[in-house]
Structures are given as structure tokens and as C-alpha cells.
Structure 1
């Protein structure tokens, strides 16, 4: 069965976020280890060095290929095992990210968000994050990792459409606001 796109675009005060959810039949503390411990994180996404409590760590996304570059990470908030907010990447080119975990009835929901700098240029983030989070589910459930080839081309148009529609809505809202101000 082909994976389906699960992301949505959410408008927040500081921009538009690509937001995705995954659910685990596991306690929140167990799921948090896949974000808060480098060996667990490296099983599905990448590795980090440093101490998050200092607010600064280095991260590299090993899922993207051999010998990736280390990126700066500014940890803005870390409230284990519930919330992590960070800027990932060099100043001026970083991505704001968040991870929220909540537990109810023996299940933990993980919500991941990534702020988009451009709706037009960053629609490709959707298939990548569906892929990354499906890797997390596979690692957690001790199942084979998914293949990237099932994600990129198959999901790209879905995310491009979401971005185009929101971009059109935002432009329309801005035009209406300008017309109201001028009138």
C-alpha cells in the first residue's frame, strides 16, 4: 500500500507551518526518547551533539545521505517529554521546528511542525516529513523502513496544491485588506 500524505498547513502568528501527526501505542516517555536521545534519534532521522538544556546543540540529518554537514540548533523551549521548539540551521536560513507530544489512554500523539519560509518554494517539505515520520513509526514498531521512492513524486502534487491554495488565499486577504485601508 502506498503511503498517503498526512500533512496540513496551519497559520500561526509567526507564519505558516507544515504540521503532521503520528500516533503510537506507547507511553509518552518512551516516544520522547526518539527525540531527546541522540542514539534513538539517529535510528530514524539524524544525530545531535551537545546539551539541549544549554540552548545550543549541533545536528546532522543522517537520513539525507552520507556524511551530512552539522547544523546549528538553537533550542527555544524543551519541556520533556511534552514540547521541543528549536531553530535548525544557520542564522538567517534556519527553520523553526516544534515537536509536541501528548498522551491519552495509553497512546502518545506526536505533532511535528516546520515553519515554511515560502509556500511556493517549500512544498517539497511535505513528502520529506511524511517519510521521516513514517521512518519513526517503523523504527518504533520494529518494522522495515519505508522507501523514499514511495513519497517524493507520489505526494508532491498534494503538497503543491495545499501551498498554492493557501498562497492564493493569503494574496486575496492582503488585497482585500489593502482595499479596505485605501477606502
Structure 2
């Protein structure tokens, strides 16, 4: 079965985020280790070095290819095992990311978000994050990891459509606000 796109766009005070959810039949502390322990993070996304409690680490995302470059990560908030907020990438080019974990009735829901710097230009990050998070589920459940080729081409248009629709809505709202201010 082909994977399906699961991301949605969410408007927040500081911008538009591409947001994804995954659910695990596991305690929150167990799922948190897939974000906070390098070997477990490496099973689905990549590896890091440094100490998160200092606010600065390096991350190499190896899920798609070997030889990826190390990226700067500024940890803005870490409230284990519930919240992680960080800027990933070089200053001026970084992406704001978050992971929120909640637990209820023996299940943990992980919500991951990535702020888009440009709604239209960054639509292609949607298939990658579906792929990464499906890898997280597979790693946690000790299942075979998905193949990246099942994601990008098949899901690309879904995310581009979401972004075009939101861009159109934002332009309409902006035009309405301008005409209301002058009318």
C-alpha cells in the first residue's frame, strides 16, 4: 500500500507551519527517547552530537542519504517528555521546528511541526516529513523502514495544492483588509 500524505497547514502567530501527527501505543517516556537519545533518533532521522540542555547541538539528517552535512540546532525549549522547540540550520536559513507529545489511555500522540519560510517555495518538504515520521513509526514498531521513493513524487502535488490554496486565502484576506482600511 502506498503511503498517504498526512500533513496539514496551521497558521500560528509566528507563521505557517506544516504539521503532522503520529500515534503510538506506548508510554510518552518511551516515545520521547526517539527525540532525545541519539541511537533512537538515528533509527529514523539522523544523529546528533552535543548536549541539548546547553541549547546547542549539531544534527545530521541521514534518513535520506549518507554523507549529509551537520546542521546547527538551537534548542529553544525542551520540556521532557512533552515539548521540544528548536531552530534547525544556519542562522538566517534555519527552520523553526517543534515536537509535542501527549499521552492518554496508554497511547502517545506526537505532533511535529515545521515553520515554512515561504508557503509556495517549501511545499516539497511535506513528502519528506511524512517519510521521516513513517520511519519513526517503523523504527518504534521494529518494522521495515519505508522507501523514500514512495513519498516525494506521489505526494508532492497534495502539498503544493495545500500551499497554493492557503496562499490564495492569505492574499484574499490581505486584499480585504486593505479595502476595509481604505473604505
Q: Please indicate, yes or no, whether the TM-score normalized by the shorter chain is above 0.5.
A: yes
> Which residue does 1:180 correspond to in 2?
180
Cα shift at 1:158: 0.6
**Is 1:12 aligned with 2:21?**
no
| Runs (4+) off by over 6 Å | none
Cα shift at 1:122: 0.5
> Which residue does 2:166 correspond to in 1?
166
Cα shift at 1:64: 2.8
For 1:82-101, list aligned pairs within 5 A: 82-101=82-101
> For each residue in 1:33-69, what CA deviation from the matched residue of structure 2 results, as whole angstroms up to 9, or x when unmatched?
0000111100110111111111111111011312111
| Aligned-residue RMSD, C-alpha | 0.6
Q: Which runs of 5+ in 1 are unaligned?
A: none
Q: Which runs of 5+ in 2 are unaligned?
A: none
Counting matched residue pairs gives: 183
Q: TM-score, normalized by length of structure 1?
A: 0.99
> Which residue does 1:103 correspond to in 2?
103
Q: TM-score, normalized by length of structure 2?
A: 0.99
> Which residue does 1:69 correspond to in 2?
69
How far, CA to CA, are the matches of 2:154 and 2:68 in structure 1?
Answer: 25
